Amino acid sequence: MKTRAYAASEAGGKLEPFDYETGQLKHDEVEIDIEYCGICYSDLSMLGNDWGITKYPFVPGHEIIGKISEVGNEVKHLKIGQYVGLGWRARSCLICDQCLNGYHNRCVKGEDVIVHRHGGFADKVRCQSVWAFPIPDNMDVKTAGPLFCGGITVFNPIIQNNVRPTDRVAVVGIGGLGHIALQFLHAWGCEVTAFSTNPDKEKEARELGADQFLNTLDTNALRSSANKFDMVLVTINQDLDWDTYINTLKPGGKLHIVGAAPPMKANVFALVSGEKSIGGSPIGGPGVIKMMLDFCSRHRIAPVIEQFPLSKVNDAMNHLKEGKARYRIVLTNDFK
């Protein structure tokens, strides 16, 4: 069986049509006929080999929606024709301590959709069945893809940090991840503040759920927000003046990073005296992903997307790279 895809043959290269053989489906796998695939900033990072782990030819794409086309003979809970979503992770060992405790996302023997295997800028993709999640009936399949990487990445910190509806939370960066975080936290009942360098985003940020908007280029505004937030969720992957952000936390507050930012410098005294912490997390476990899907279904939460046909994938990647995406790009499979 052949899979038709778009691949780059070198770091930063253009994505070109590329076919590859898939062989036989494993007993615990499913195959998905891809209809939609979101673009995540990590697709760009992997394309450029920014993390030194990319193998070429490289097929990006890990925010996948499609119908099950084949199931391995051990797979009983999914049916051919059923809509599922697949995100960053494609496999986990299921027997390490992390998997056994529900943290399959932290499994070090796991496999990721676009790391040393081919991703979702294609007509088909495969994964271990536990990582293919049925889409709730009332959810729009066109917009659901970005939930499986961008969405879970900002939902998981809410669960892991035990955020409560009484909390005040700031979201740093209103882009592909941040615009979903605003919706989650608003539905969660929190007071939500959007932190952005772009004042043009204020109106939309408020529509998405922000109660407050703070322009982070306004250093005075940032400094005067001392002792305000229970959690500051950092969705950007740049270096920050971390101490200024830590200063905006209440005593006991948590700075939570989900972007691949460069090494940080931070004042230890502020952490100790204010009982504050700095943490991070990658996507979320399968139990938390199901919880997120149910929450989105009940609260009508959906990524705000722009659509490109898969055949225009290079234009779409440039659009993201230039910071123009509002707020997540989804590719539509136009093979045939």
Nearest distance, CB of residue 293 and a copy of itself, angstroms: 21
Sole binder of a copy of itself in the list 3, 54, 92, 98 (CB under 8 A): 98
Closest to a copy of itself by CB, 71 or 113: 113
Which parts of 106-165 interact with a copy of itself (CB under 8 A)? 106, 108, 160
Nearest distance, CB of residue 105 and a copy of itself, angstroms: 8
Nearest distance, CB of residue 272 and a copy of itself, angstroms: 3
Question: Among candidates 212, 256, 250, 195, which has minimal Cα distance to 228?
Answer: 250
Helices 150-160 and 286-299 sit at what angle, rounded to 10 degrees?
Answer: 100
Which parts of 263-292 interact with a copy of itself (CB under 8 A)? 263-269, 271-282
Closest to a copy of itself by CB, 199 or 252: 252
94 binding a copy of itself? (CB under 8 A): no
Closest to a copy of itself by CB, 136 or 274: 274
249 three-class SS? strand
Please report the DSSP string for 3-62 in residue order: EEEEEBSSTTPPPEEEEEE--SPPTTEEEEEEEEEEE-HHHHHHHTTTTS---SSB----
Tokens, residue 24: 């036989």
Nearest distance, CB of residue 335 and a copy of itself, angstroms: 33
Nearest distance, CB of residue 332 and a copy of itself, angstroms: 30
Residue 287 is which amino acid? G
Nearest distance, CB of residue 287 and a copy of itself, angstroms: 14
Give the number of other CB atoms < 10 A from CB of residue 193: 23
Closest to a copy of itself by CB, 154 or 302: 154
Would the CA dihedral through 57, 63, 69, 75 be positive or negative?
positive
Closest to a copy of itself by CB, 159 or 304: 159
Closest to a copy of itself by CB, 66 or 285: 285
CA distances in angstroms from 150 to 37, 64, 284, listed in the order given:
12, 12, 11
Closest to a copy of itself by CB, 50 or 211: 50
CA distance 246 to 223: 10
Which parts of 215-274 interact with a copy of itself (CB under 8 A)? 227, 250-252, 254, 257-269, 271-274
CA distance 89 to 62: 8
Residue 137 is which amino acid? D
Which parts of 31-90 interact with a copy of itself (CB under 8 A)? none
Which parts of 180-209 interact with a copy of itself (CB under 8 A)? none
CA distance 178 to 336: 35
Q: Provide the binding-site residues for a copy of itself, judged by CB under 8 A.
A: 97-98, 103, 105-106, 108, 160, 227, 250-252, 254, 257-269, 271-282
